[in-house]
Amino acid sequence: MLSGDLINELKRKTIHLTSIIIVLTYYYFGKQAVLLLLTVYLIAILELEYFRIEWGKKMPFVHGLFRTKEADRLGGHVFFTIGSIIAISVFPKEIASAAVLMTTFGDTSAAIFGKAFGRMWIPGLKNRAIEGCAAEFVTDIIIGWIFLPGWMAVLIMAGTATVVETLTNKMDDNLLIPLFSGFNGLLVLSILVYFK
């Protein structure tokens, strides 16, 4: 039977599936269209966050999805949207797409597998199970394999996403993962092209 904590996590992570819409919009309608979509979405959610945080208004349907630490600060979806906008703006399509999906699906697999199957906890890190980290790394490798040309970039991006997800505590990993993994992927591919 699923615990209440795991059920709440599944509800929160279901929203991450919307990242597929970002990538599909990018591939079918282009960079300008997806950036416009994300910018309009960012403005809309910032307006909602203003009323939620500044005025203490409960947002229908989604209020229960916010974590306790997000009660008086921006939610992770805001940081993810900002990270996606930056990644799509500065990285090539394949890297940006992989970085966006690693952020959402990697995080989702880490949370679900960590909560459901976590038995070996990483010393010194709060709520970080080795099983969750392994699930994220495997998920990120699959995503990288779909989008990236070359195993070196796949491993570097997947490793970066997993490490950032695992070690980030005070900052928001939804912002850091697409930027750090995308930058490292671009760096590796640039080095490989240079030395060809």
For residue 78, the model assigns a pLDDT of 94
For residue 189, the model assigns a pLDDT of 95
Residue 80 three-state SS: helix
CB count, 10 Å around CB of 55?
7
Pair 99, 87: CB distance under 8 Å:
yes
First to last CA, the chain: 53
Rounded-to-integer distance, Cα 100 and Cα 155, Å = 16
For residue 17, the model assigns a pLDDT of 79
For residue 138, the model assigns a pLDDT of 98
For residue 27, the model assigns a pLDDT of 97
Q: Where are the alpha helices (H) located in 58-124, listed in sequence order? A: 76-90, 93-101, 107-117
pTM to 2 decimal places: 0.89
Hey, what amino acid is at 183?
A: F
Ranges of the chain with pLDDT below 50: 1
